[in-house]
Structure 1
Amino acid sequence: MVETECIVFFCKIRGVIELGFRCPQNVNGIAADPQPDWSFDNLLSELDSIDKELNLTLDFPSPFTKKEPRDLKASTDKRGFVMRVSDHETDYADADSDSEVEVDNSLVASGRRFTCDELYMSDDSEDGASLGMQCHQLMDRARLAEAAVYELTDERRFNVTEVVRSKISNLETELVKEKEKFVSLTTTIHKYRELQQERERKLDLQYQRTIAEALDNHLTVVQRDHEHISQLEERRIRDDMARAEAKRREKAIQEEKTRQERIKAEEEARLKSEMVEKAKAAALEAEKKAAEEAAAKHASASDAAPNAGKDSKEAPGPSSSTYDVKKGTQSSAVKNIIRASQNALELEKRRQQMYEELSTKIEPLNQDYQSLGRTIGRLIRTISATIDNIRTRAEEIMKLMNSPQYPQPISIKLFAEKIVSNCTNQRSSNAIFASSRVVVLVTSKTPLAMDILIAELNRICIYTVPKHISYSKEAFRTRDDYFKAIGYKEVDGKIEGLDEYLERLSSYMKLYGALVQTEVRGCQNLHGMKEGWAWLARFLNTIPSNLFTAIALDSFLGMAGYGMYCRYKNQFEKLLSVIGRDFVNALQEGGGDSRSAKVSKVKMSIQNYIESKQYKKEPEGLQLRDRLDSNELY
């Protein structure tokens, strides 16, 4: 405190000098100090710099001589100025730097009084000594001022530290708040993202539901279209049946008239024939009498005549040694050209009689059933390898067979003919097995249809008996007659080619093999695996090995081999070994380059079938599907 008074006193002596800061003293309520940790040495150096600016020195090299006071004037009451140092360091900091008057007034107050008039400044040594003593006292007071400065510096440093600590605390609080705000925003973002995902999931679900509804509507429209088409088809069939019935009735009436006319004509012809017979009887009586008279005159001639007649009866006619292709009859001279077992021929004959009896029942009707044939043919052609389709087609065919509108013999015969003829158009095993299933379903309800179908197959293809006819010049007038006997077709007066015949032969045998192997749950196959085993045994025992028989055997094994292996196992494999050892080795390559190539091809096919054991693999189409692949698109 003393040191501060000395500093202020010194300043008053030198003049009114304000030690101010080079920056604003107060910023936002905080006192600014350009160097808050000043020491006393720093203060002295600052005072020296001020003295140099005023061209003064503090060392007093020469005695101070008072000439005249600079700014101090003598006062009548001889009072000096009063200096007061505040106990609080903030009194100077809070003072306004722009007003010197306010600073002086704050410092001037009641306190210790200094009078400058008591000092007599002269050049005497006593005055210099007294001045030195005063300087010494001032220096002692300076040490006290230095301690005060240290205290003020520490207090200021403490205040600054508190302010900094306060700011750091505020910053930490703000950081915590910012962190909490960030966490809150992050949580909000996550919630928003979850809401967005939930919204998108709901939109996807709604979109899928819309697609499903559109698909259901589409399927409903497609089903309605199919039902409409089916109704139109059924209506067309009913119209065709109605027109056919009208034609049948009209034709029946016309036939009745024709029959009456024919009866009249036959009666007239009978009467005429009776008259002619009476005339012939009279003529014969006259000839007899004439012969008796001639016999008496020419006895020798009458003896030669009976011998000549006897010779003429023993000589065979030109047609007695020929083979009747249509009826299948033969004389003893050509009986050896047929190769077949006796049981097979008897079964063929029995089925042929049933076929002829059925045809005999149909002939008196003499009506046009083309519309019925077209309907049955359309149903057979639209058979596919699906369970629903096969069941539907079988039910429709059985309805036609049991319909009172048509005679059942006609429906059975048309069914057999359409099945056999349609197999030549079926290239895949799927279609052949599907047709065989329809046959089993239909014939299980109508057993006669199976015999008629097998009879039709035996008539078209002799190898389904099995039976083989060898060529003989004595039995056949020409090669064409022989070809017709073994199943060649005549088209426009010409016999079909070898390739066409072999292709049809293979189709017939595939149908027969599929029919033998087909089994339907709940139905009995009237011509099943037992008949297939009998056919194979008869074939190997009686049928020779050539191109035709090899094609028939290869086609049959390809369709029925799997079923026969599953049923007979080792016994069937023994038969296959016999085929590979005897039948295949007996095949002779001959008859031209084309036929030789075909023989080699079928020979290799049979060998590959046996060696690779293809009979253990289920043929394609044996197992049905629930629906067609095209239906899976809907």
Structure 2
Amino acid sequence: MRVLQNLAFPGPSQVQGLSFDPEREWDVGSLLLEIKMLEERLYGSGDIISFNKHQESKRHVGPSKTADKRGIRPFVMRLPDGNASEHEDDMDKDDDDNSNRHGLVNRKQSAPGDHAIRKRFVMHVSDDDGGLDNDDGYLDSDDDGLDNNKGNLIEASLSEMINEFQLSVQEEIRSQSSAMKHKLAGNNQKLKSSLEKIAKFLESRRDLDRKVDTEFRRMLAETVDNHLTAIRRDHEVKSQVEERKLMSDAAEEAKRKEKALHEEKLRQEKAKAEAEAKLKEEEAKRHALEAERKEKETADKLAAAIAQEAAARLAQESVSGSHPDSGSAAKKSDAFKASKSALEAEQNRMLKLKEFDEMIQILKSKQVVLYSKDFSSHERHMARLIRTISGTKDNVRTRASELIKLMSDPAFPKPISIVTFCKKVLLHCKSYNIAVVFGCAHLIVVVTSKVILSMDILLAEFHQACIFTVPKSTASKSQYESEAAYYKALGFQEDGGKIEKEQDFMKGIESYMKLYGAIVQTEVEGHYNSHGLAEGWSWLARFLNALPANKYTTIALNAFLQTAGFALHRKYKSQFRKMLKVIAEDYLTALKGREDLVLHQVIAEIQSYIKDQKFLRRPEGSVLEASSMSSQLAPV
């Protein structure tokens, strides 16, 4: 039951000696408990008067459970212990107050002669009513009629007030109970709705779980079915493979038997053919031995003739005390500036080249049976291979193997092959781009490592084509008989009695020196370069020590550095930098003040090469590409 709040009496706090002290929080159970306690106090009995309108029944009401649980103190009605004179209000005022009050006083109906009750509900009579108080504040017992009437009036007023209050409390309790019922009904409805939603959610959840379980079972069944199908298919494939293997084994066995029969038949036929061929072979061997004996006799005669002619030439040279051209060579050596070691190396190479040329003339003049093939076709074939050289590894490897095979062919004299190779390589040197120059250098290193003396002959051809490969330079024009002789000594080519143009000559110097520098720096795995970086370092030292600074030597130096500078710096490092410092401070300084556009361009290139440290970058084309389609489509 809901606790009634703010329930208080609107009248005075005391009426006829009764003091009301209500608390803010109390309920009807607490009020009834206080009334019961009051009755026990007044009458010494536990009976409580029922507060219905006609007072026809009694009921016993115990302490409120709600008050006990919530800690609400009960409604207290106090009776003062003092005299009647302590009350300040009169009977009329008490009657008015009692008529407006909503307090509760519980008591039993008593007999009219019950003086114990009347003594506790004594009213103070004011002077206006004519009543006289005793000394103790109570009425005399002689005025029993007036006392009874007033007591009945108070008791009736109090009973009426209690009935009215009970009715108001009951009405309030009914309204609160109705509101509580409505609220409980609403809460029950909400709870019912929530339970229905929960039931629907659980049902939908169960449906979803059933669907998921069904889908999972379906997927599991499909997976198992697919797995079993795959196993069955694999088993079928293996069975088919086994069947085909058995069939193929049977077929192979049949083929082997048939082949064995066929081979036996062939063996018999072959044995018969071999017996016949053996007779023919023995007869052919006899003829071959006879022909070989005759060829050997011819070769011995040719070698004896060549040796006899060489011995005669050497004997003649020993008698004269020097080489036939030694005098002229001495005179020529005085006209050139070069280191002594460079001139000696050049002379040795030129002697070997001259010997090869003499042997070639003898071989071509002797139309012997051993060398009956056409030399010109052999030379054209070699020239065609050299013209198709490119800057790729596959091309260089193929051309080198073909050239080595041609130069090792016993059908042609080796001197002719070597000299032809060297001349053709230098003949096409001017038409090579920088990539082909390095490709040609790789080919030269591979061929010369397999063919003996070919490097010396090639260097001799270099020296003839360009004197700066020695290196050496000519003296002044005044030491020569004519201007044409001076230009020839420099290396100008003569064609039809005309000396080539200076522009072509400078282009030739650049081409020869680039190829020479490329050969010096080339290293091929598995092949020995007999004229490698050590010879290139010697050439650079001899060049700076012996050659003067002029336009032609500057072109030669620039071309050599462009191809060999990177490899020389990688090997000699600080020593090579010192060489470059000498070139920058001494060699190029000596060229200042000369008015020549070509010379100025070459000087600018050398200065840029040193200043920008281009020697730290690998030259373009020095590393051959793996392969190229253009190398296969080159013109033959």
Structure 2-normalised TM-score? 0.47
Q: TM-score, normalised by structure 1?
A: 0.47
